[in-house]
Amino acid sequence: MAASALLAQNPSPTDEDIDRAMAGNLCRCGTYSRIRAAIHDAAGQLQSDSGQTPAPYYQSNLES
């Protein structure tokens, strides 16, 4: 729900925006980078669905 609210208010969030929005909702299990990547992916999908150009996002240390 926090991620959905973030994307409704900010369709191209930075990592810092995501961290701030998700504070208190994330555990310390080491999945922060995956959650950030998923939110960036969702933002890109929402923007492409609306006809906007998605903001570029690249993080080289993500595991496949």
Residue 58 lies in a domain: no
Range of the domain at 28: 2-49
Number of structural domains (the chain) is 1
Query: Number of C-alpha atoms within 13 angstroms, CB side, residue 30?
Result: 3
Residue 40 lies in a domain: yes
Model pLDDT, residue 47: 82
Residue 29 lies in a domain: yes
Residue 62 lies in a domain: no
What are 35-56's pLDDT values in tens digits? 889 999 999 888 886 665 555 5
Global pTM? 0.65
Residue 38 lies in a domain: yes
Q: Where are the alpha helices (DSSP H) in the chain?
A: 2-9, 15-22, 32-49
For residue 50, the one-letter residue type is S
Residue 42 lies in a domain: yes
